[in-house]
Amino acid sequence: MPSKDVFFPYGISNFAQVVNQGYVFVDKTIYLEKLELQKQKFVSFLRPRRFGKSLFISLLEYYYDTFYKEHFVKLFGKFYIGQNSTPFANSYRILYFNFSGIDTSTTENSRKSFNLSVKASLERFFVKYSNFSSRHQETIRQSQDAEEMLTLLFQTYTDTFPVYLLIDEYDHFTNEILTRNLEEFKVSISQNGYVRKFYEVIKNASQQGIVDRIFITGVSPITLDSLTSGFNILKHLSHEEEFHSMLGFCEEEVRSLLRLVLESPQKEESIMQDLHYYYNGYRFHPTCPNNIYNPDMVLYFLEHFKKKQTYPRQMLDPNIMPDYGKLKKMFEIADWKKNKQVLEEVLEKETITTELIYQFHFENGGGKKEFINFLYYLGNLTMQEEDIGGWIVFRIPNKVIENLYWQYYAHLLEQDAELPQTTETIPKAIRLMALSGNPQAFFEELEKLLQALSSRDFRKFDEKHIKMAIIALLIQANIFEIKSEREISKGGYLDLELYIRPNNFREHHQFALEIKYLKKEQESLLKEVMEEAKAQIKNYYQKDIVLQNKNLLHLIAVVILKDKVYWEEVKV
């Protein structure tokens, strides 16, 4: 029976809190057994942001730490691993680092903040385990250098239990440095760089048997790859099919979570379709049959849905919005113009193909291949399928990420046109369009944009570019559900459809657009092309049951003559 007393661990990354405070936990503990059976002691596992990495690291800590041995049954008894415990349960001292809070505003702050973070982790280690003399602790505290602190710790380590070293968000701060200053990034991981030296100490401790196991999470392999021989002991499991679902939710897991709070079972399939559209789509192995949902997005939705059985007003989790700024910074890395071409290709063709990079090299800067892979590792692209020669076809994973792309593309259009950000006028025009059924105000805003673009831009303009500009403007208002190039029932592709979003709380007008583009020298064809567009969209309507079932639907034929918008509504 669905219950509003179900609590989802949205934003909670401490495993003990999840269990002890009665939150729902999707049992991933079978992967602890799988990891041990791998016989790989030093592991890295990469996934995009907000994919449950921190909670999994916490799971490892509570399972393997000697400190929590007496709590084993309470924490794990009802899960797979509690009934199938492995030989190494509660047999390690846990040394835990989290590098998500490093201040990277300047070169000096980056190093200082890194050192302080390492020191804080060692202090927690001393508090938890009492096997270190006060003299040794004080010697370590007096140091201000992460490499030296860690070296002193391992030199004085005499505990009978080996160390399991956990690092969460290992590359959070180095990725921030990379997007701010590529040269600073190279220096920090170079042979004498402070990041490289830190990992060299860990490698030495693993060779001595002090550090017996390592598990590192992060987003991209760039930092580890750049360390090369300084830290070449890891087994990368990120693209192993066996571990594809270790983080994130599969279809059945999402369905089971939804059933915990869904009061009307007949709505299950339609809701699952919406969740699939907005949050699913991640694939980290090209032949894996199932995609993965972003768990943060799903929990955000369910936490809201359980209260009143309604969708959140924003399907995009507000905590994802900072990713817009990160996306902008990513496109400004290295060759800006080539990166912009990647954006346009992804939005226009919806896929982009290159080989998957397992190891990055930035000695000569990054090219198109490196940039596409960077977008993939950060979760802005995902695998669709394997192409010839082992290359990978990448695509945008879901609607949430697609909206981030379009928002950024709108910013670029306004920047290229040297227009001020139209944060008020465009959403206002779109809102009027939805409420009145008249798109005139919106098309006037589109004209302003097109007229402000240079003549040079129009040399490459066609219907696709016009359509991309329209979508980029429409996405700013968060009113319409935008569908592009949907294949209708009996052949043909409709350019754009603007429907009521599943989270809209009132009915409004909806639109289907057929778009044509003419260059200035083709002005004599305007009337003929307009009639063609009108006939085409009317034909689509007569063939397609989806269009016929839409309330307050307007069929609009649009012809763009260079930078002038002409439109007519088609009556049926």
In 3-state terms, what secondary structure has residue 510? strand
> DSSP secondary-structure letter at 266?
G
Identity (one letter) of the amino acid at 297? M
Q: What's the predicted TM-score (pTM) here? A: 0.88
CB hemisphere CA count around 491 (13 angstroms): 2
Cβ density class 431-448: b for 16+ within 10 Å, e for less = eebbeeeebebbbebbee
What is the separation of C-alpha 419 from the centre of its chain, rounded to a whole number of angstroms?
29
Task: Measure the CA dihedral 29/32/38/41, to 10°.
Answer: 160
CB 51 within 8 A of CB 248: yes
Identity (one letter) of the amino acid at 311? Y
Return the ∠ at Cα 203 (arms to 66 and 16), rounded to 5°. Answer: 30
Domain boundary among 262, 286, 318: 318
* Tens-binned pLDDT, residue by residue, of the chain (572 aa): 555 689 999 989 999 999 999 999 999 999 999 999 988 899 999 999 889 999 999 999 999 999 999 999 999 999 999 999 999 999 999 999 999 989 999 999 999 999 999 999 999 999 898 776 677 788 888 888 999 999 999 998 888 899 999 999 999 999 888 888 888 988 888 888 999 999 999 999 999 999 999 999 999 888 887 776 667 888 899 999 999 999 999 999 999 999 999 999 999 999 999 999 999 989 999 888 889 999 999 999 999 999 989 998 888 887 776 665 666 666 766 666 777 788 888 888 889 999 988 777 655 556 788 888 888 998 889 999 998 888 999 999 998 888 888 888 887 777 777 666 555 789 999 999 999 999 999 999 999 888 887 665 666 677 788 888 899 899 888 899 999 989 987 678 999 999 998 877 789 999 999 999 998 899 999 999 999 999 999 999 999 999 999 999 999 999 999 889 999 999 98
Same domain, 232 and 257: no
Provide the residue count of the chain.
572
DSSP-assigned states of every residue in 28-91: -THHHHHHHHTT-SEEEEE--SSSSHHHHHHHHHHHHBGGGGGGHHHHHTTSHHHHS--TTTT-
Neighbours of 193 (CB within 10 A): 19
Same domain, 474 and 371: no
Q: How far apart are CA 348 and CA 569, in angstroms?
A: 26
Tell me the C-alpha to C-alpha distance, in Å, between residue 2 and each of 9, 18, 258, 262.
17, 20, 9, 6
Q: Is residue 97 assigned to a domain?
A: yes
Domain boundary among 342, 364, 399: 399
Same domain, 377 and 513: no
Q: Is residue 371 assigned to a domain?
A: yes
Q: Is residue 480 assigned to a domain?
A: yes
CB 23 within 8 A of CB 17: yes
Joined together, the tokens standing for residue 169 give 């968000």
Same domain, 40 and 188: yes
Position of tokens 């465009």?
426
Same domain, 230 and 297: no
Same domain, 59 and 195: yes
Range of the domain at 238: 27-243
All residues at 6 or more sequence positions from 562 whose CB lies less than 8 Å from its CB, including other chains:
450, 458, 518, 519, 520
Same domain, 511 and 376: no
Q: How far apart are CA 148 and CA 140, in angstroms?
A: 8
Q: Is the dihedral of CA 344, 346, 349, 352 positive or negative?
A: positive
302 closest CA partner among 291, 311, 293, 292:
311
| Alpha helices (H) along 133-284 | 134-142, 146-155, 172-180, 182-188, 194-207, 222-227, 251-259, 268-279
Q: Are strands 93-98 and 553-561 parallel, antiparallel or unpaired?
A: unpaired
Return the ∠ at Cα 480 (arms to 517 and 329), rounded to 5°. Answer: 80
Q: Is residue 412 assigned to a domain?
A: no
Enclosing H/E stretch for 264: none
CB hemisphere CA count around 159 (13 angstroms): 24
Same domain, 281 and 232: no
Q: How far apart are CA 208 and CA 10, in angstroms?
A: 40
Same domain, 51 and 123: yes
Position of tokens 């930035």?
362
Domain boundary among 225, 243, 261: 243
The pLDDT assigned to 370 comes to 83
Q: How far apart are CA 249 and CA 90, in angstroms?
A: 27
Q: How far apart are CA 242 and CA 250, in angstroms?
A: 14
CB 415 within 8 A of CB 340: no
Q: How far apart are CA 444 and CA 405, in angstroms?
A: 24
Same domain, 97 and 228: yes
Q: What are phi and psi of 482, to 5 degrees?
A: -100, 125
Q: Are strands 211-218 and 351-354 parallel, antiparallel or unpaired?
A: unpaired
Joined together, the tokens standing for residue 225 give 């790859």
Q: Is residue 370 assigned to a domain?
A: yes
Q: Is residue 404 assigned to a domain?
A: no
Q: How far apart are CA 250 and CA 245, in angstroms?
A: 7
533 closest CA partner among 562, 486, 494:
494
Same domain, 329 and 458: no
Identity (one letter) of the amino acid at 318? P
Return the ∠ at Cα 75 (arms to 73 and 78), rounded to 5°. Answer: 70
In 3-state terms, what secondary structure has residue 229? helix
The pLDDT assigned to 99 comes to 94
Give how many domains the chain has, as a whole number. Answer: 4
All residues at 6 or more sequence positions from 525 whose CB lies less than 8 Å from its CB, including other chains:
518
Q: Are strands 382-386 and 392-395 parallel, antiparallel or unpaired?
A: antiparallel
Joined together, the tokens standing for residue 199 give 């990992």
In 3-state terms, what secondary structure has residue 379? coil
Q: How far apart are CA 385 and CA 234, in angstroms?
A: 27
Same domain, 31 and 147: yes
Q: Is residue 529 assigned to a domain?
A: yes
Q: Is residue 1 assigned to a domain?
A: no
Rg of the chain over Cα atoms, rounded to whole angstroms, equals 27
Joined together, the tokens standing for residue 108 give 């000096």
In 3-state terms, what secondary structure has residue 399? helix
456 closest CA partner among 398, 512, 416, 409:
416
